[in-house]
Structure 1
Amino acid sequence: MVESNLALDLIFGALADATRRDILKRVSREEQTISELAQPYATSLAAIAKHVSVLEKAGLVTKRRNGKEKLVRVTPEAIEVAAAHLSEYEKVWGDRFDTLEKLLAEK
């Protein structure tokens, strides 16, 4: 249980930053190098590499070498873990809204 919570903490912590969410969105379309990922931002390659490192530690992306370049790609399993966690809340709140709707209809 605690190990699972740690994984969720890492995932949601990584997703808390807008730059990291954008990086994740971009690599979900296609693999990109750190240099390619850094292009739209007014920041250093080192800063982008740190963002990628946070995403990698959370299991959201992986890196692989292609010659001198490191390619970054999305890891869907971690996203599935987060989605499964959120779907539990979706069910709870869906049930609550259904109950509320029934109560309002009775009045």
Structure 2
Amino acid sequence: MKVATARAYDAVKERSFGLCEVCGIRQATEIHHRLHRSHGGPDSPENLLHVCGSGNHTGCHGKAHQDTHRYGNGWAIRSGNGPEHQPVNRQVLYRGRWALLTADGGLVEQEVTF
């Protein structure tokens, strides 16, 4: 694993405190790429979630790959060239609250206005 990738993974694991960043209940066991690597997604903290489950099939990791609301919830990001396709610009439903994930491994909670 590249040093930069290892640093990003460590930052995300620190951000999660070992709990799934989707449900906030179960132990996080895997790193999920919101913009998938196969679509050019980077190994950067704003693109990564520490999630429960195994592979792309169970727990919240499976949910982030298969749930019909995965794009609306920011757990997955469609590929493209516009700013809305950049992880740093896409809010994520983080343990039931909206947040922006930051490049330094932090998060900024967002207020939802109607």
Which is helix-richer, 1 or 2? 1
Name which one, 1 or 2, has greater alpha-carbon Rg: 1
TM-score using structure 2 length: 0.25
